[in-house]
């Protein structure tokens, strides 16, 4: 089966910072020693027979293999061809248990989804054999970067110069303070509604939204004349947000690279701009901004 994404994990010695407690005694159990400072690094069971100087590589390779096996690319982000990176920090305690302490995702509409997925797969790792410092079991801090990358050409990439913001992680569930962020359509509790979907049973409203979206596109689509004349077809992915008031905002599009790419993209934007105002989405009983992605096919 063809892979649609791959994951890169970087664990470099230079990227591990040391977190120190008020007590300078490294034997104290409340001190966190960085991965590159600890005398004996935490390792997985299958790495214990490796030579000491090869154990770091063994740990990295094991994490890579497990995350690549278990990671699920966020559906809406994949559908919208959005890539990202998540920078994570975690600790390995005196019993070898992992605790994620920080996750930083790139500022995209799917930021929280990428962060949650990185946390979820990290939590699937087995316990380590704990690290030691001065012959004492200690808590160790490490960092890694998960890069979500797709293998097709129509990618919406996040600029490396954009600032990312730290997220303190307790569990892979959106906290109350993050409700100002956009939530993907597929996971929001109450989807935004076309007026025709309001009286439909709630379990069917998500499907109703998608059906009404399809009808709207079919009704308003105008094939670009020059492209039609030259029998050129295309497909454009539109990614947009529906804000807390039900208004469509932040429209982004990406079409196939053809001579008429701009015309197809402009028509897609026009179609999305003609969408009506929705009844806003609700999450935890409160209006919330939602991201939605839809592919628009231009076929003759």
Q: How far apart are CA 57 and CA 46, in angstroms?
A: 12
Q: How far apart are CA 110 and CA 119, in angstroms?
A: 14
Integer angstrom CA distances of residue 115 from 38, 88, 187, 209: 28, 9, 14, 27
The DSSP 8-state label assigned to residue 156 in this structure reads: B
Shared-domain flag, residues 199 and 139: no
Q: How far apart are CA 142 and CA 12, in angstroms?
A: 9
Whole-structure pTM over 0.75, yes or no? Answer: no
Q: Which of 102, 121, 148 is the last residue of a domain?
A: 148
DSSP string, 202-244: HHHHHHHHHHHHHHHHHHH----HHHHHTT--EEEEEEEEE-T
Q: Tell me: the pLDDT tens digits for 20-76?
A: 334 434 333 457 888 878 899 999 998 988 888 888 888 888 888 888 888 889 888
The residue segments making up the domain with residue 104 are 33-148
Residue 10 covered by a domain: no
Q: Tell me: the pLDDT tens digits for 23-33?
A: 434 333 457 88
Shared-domain flag, residues 191 and 277: yes
Q: Which of 125, 148, 171 is the last residue of a domain?
A: 148
Q: Which of 93, 122, 148 is the last residue of a domain?
A: 148
Q: How far apart are CA 159 and CA 54, in angstroms?
A: 35
Structure tokens at 217: 């596109």
Residue 99 covered by a domain: yes
Integer angstrom CA distances of residue 259 from 156, 157, 221, 266: 19, 22, 19, 13
């Amino acid at each position: 089966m063809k892979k649609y994404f791959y994951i890169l994990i970087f664990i470099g010695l230079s990227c591990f910072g040391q977190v120190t407690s008020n007590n300078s005694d490294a034997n104290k159990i409340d001190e966190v020693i960085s991965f590159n400072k600890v005398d004996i690094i935490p390792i997985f069971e299958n790495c214990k027979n490796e030579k000491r100087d090869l154990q770091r590589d063994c740990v990295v390779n094991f994490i890579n293999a497990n995350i690549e096996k278990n990671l699920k690319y966020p559906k809406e982000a994949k559908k919208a061809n959005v890539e990202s990176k998540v920078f994570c920090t975690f600790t390995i305690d005196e019993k070898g248990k992992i605790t994620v302490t920080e996750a930083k995702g790139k500022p995209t509409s799917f930021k929280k989804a990428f962060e949650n997925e990185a946390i979820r797969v990290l939590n699937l790792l087995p316990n380590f054999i704990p690290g030691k410092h001065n012959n004492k079991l200690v808590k160790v801090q490490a960092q890694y970067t998960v890069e979500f990358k797709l293998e097709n050409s129509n990618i919406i990439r996040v600029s490396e110069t954009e600032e990312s913001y730290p997220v303190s992680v307790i569990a892979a569930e959106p906290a109350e303070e993050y409700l100002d962020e956009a939530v993907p359509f597929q996971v929001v509790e109450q989807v935004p509604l076309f007026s025709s979907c309001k009286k439909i049973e709630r379990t069917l409203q998500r499907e109703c939204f998608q059906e009404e979206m399809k009808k709207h596109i079919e009704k308003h689509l105008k094939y670009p004349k020059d492209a039609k004349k030259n029998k050129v077809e295309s497909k454009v992915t539109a990614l947009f947000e529906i804000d807390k008031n039900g208004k469509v905002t932040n429209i982004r599009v990406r079409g196939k690279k053809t001579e008429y790419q701009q015309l197809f993209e402009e028509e897609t934007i026009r179609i999305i701009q003609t969408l009506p105002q929705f009844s806003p989405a609700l999450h935890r009983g409160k209006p919330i901004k939602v991201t939605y992605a839809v592919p628009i096919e231009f076929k003759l």
